[in-house]
Amino acid sequence: MQLTLGPVLYHWQPEHWRDFYFRIADEAPVDTVVVGEAVCSKRTPFKQDHIPAVVERLEAAGKRVLHASLILVSLPRERRQTRELMQAAEAEVEINDLTCLASLGERPFAVGPFVNVYNEAAAGFLAARGASRICLPPELPLPAVASIAAALPQVAIEVFAFGKVPLAISARCYHARAHKLTKDNCRFVCEQDPDGMPVATLDGAGFLSINGVQTLSHGAACLLGDIPALREAGVAALRLSPQDCDMVAVARLFREVVDGRLDAGEAEHRLGALYPDVPLANGFLHAAPGHVHVRAGV
C-alpha cells in the first residue's frame, strides 16, 4: 500500500511552501506527491516560481509528482490556466474539476478527491477516459470503496486517510467576508490561518474550518486503525493532506503501520501529540457522522 501526499490546501508563505516540499522530498516516506494550487487561483503567483525547483527535488528523491488542477474553474483566466496545465506535455496531472477532461485529449491522468466519484459507474467513466488512479471522496463508506475497487482492478484506488476533510467549495470567499473584505480585495487574509480559520457553534463547540473559498471539517480524518480493512478492500494508496504540523512524522507513522512495524493504537496516540487540539475521526468510512471516531473492530 502506497502513501500519497496531497496538495497544500492552505495559503502558506511561498518560502515556507517551498521548504515544506523540500523536506518532504528529503525525509518523508511517501511515494506520490501532488503539487500546485487547488483552492484559489489568486494564490498561484505566490508559488509558481518555486514549482520547478520543488518538482526537481521531489523527482530526484524518487517520488512521483502530480500537478493538481483547481477544484472550481470559473473565470476565463482560470479556464486558460487549466487548459495550459492539461496540455503541458511534461506534467502528470490530477484533475479536481471535470472541465479538465475537455483539454486532456488521450493523456492518462489521476483524479483527486474533489470529483464526486460515488459509484462504480462514475469511476468506470473516468477510467474509460484515461484515469489511472482515483482518490475517492472522503465521505464514502467502506462497502462503497470496496465495490469501486473490485469493479476497477486496473485503476489504483486511493482514500483520504489524514487531514481536515474538504467539504465544500464556493465562488465566494468566506475568509474575506469574515474580515469585512471583498474577494477581489481580500488582501490574502487567509495566510493568517495556515491550518484554516476555526468556526464554532453559538455554544462554542468546534464546527468547521474555513480556508478562503473552501470549507473543511473541524477535526481531522485519521484512518490508521482502518488500514487492514482498507487493504482487504483493495485500496492501493492512502492520501495524507498537509496540515500545519510535522507531516514528515505523520507520514512515518502511516508508513510504519502499513508495514506492520507499529500498532495502530500507538500510532494514533503519537499522532495526537503531533497534531494536538484537533480531534481525530473516521466516521465517514463507517457510515457514521464524519466527526465520530470508531475504534477498529467495533
> DSSP of 94-114, one letter per residue?
EESSGGGHHHHTT--EEE-TT
pLDDT digits (tens, 9 = 90+) for 26-50: 999 999 999 999 999 999 999 999 9
Q: For residue 271, what pLDDT is reported?
A: 97
* CA nearest to 218, candidates 235, 204, 228, 237: 204
Distances 191 to 149, 162, 175 between C-alpha atoms, Å: 38, 22, 10
Q: For residue 139, what pLDDT is reported?
A: 97
Q: For residue 88, what pLDDT is reported?
A: 86
Q: For residue 114, what pLDDT is reported?
A: 97
232, three cell numbers: 482487504
Q: For residue 131, what pLDDT is reported?
A: 97
Burial 31-57 (b: 16+ CB within 10 A, else e): ebbbbbbbbbbbbeebbeebbeebbeb
108, three cell numbers: 492518462
Q: For residue 297, what pLDDT is reported?
A: 52
The C-alpha atoms of residue 75 and residue 222 are separated, in whole angstroms, by 35
52, three cell numbers: 520547478
Q: For residue 295, what pLDDT is reported?
A: 83
The C-alpha atoms of residue 85 and residue 95 are separated, in whole angstroms, by 10
The C-alpha atoms of residue 121 and residue 94 are separated, in whole angstroms, by 20
60, three cell numbers: 530526484
Residues of the chain with pLDDT under 70: 296-298
> For residue 200, what are the contacts with CB-CB under 8 A and spacing of at least 6?
206, 207
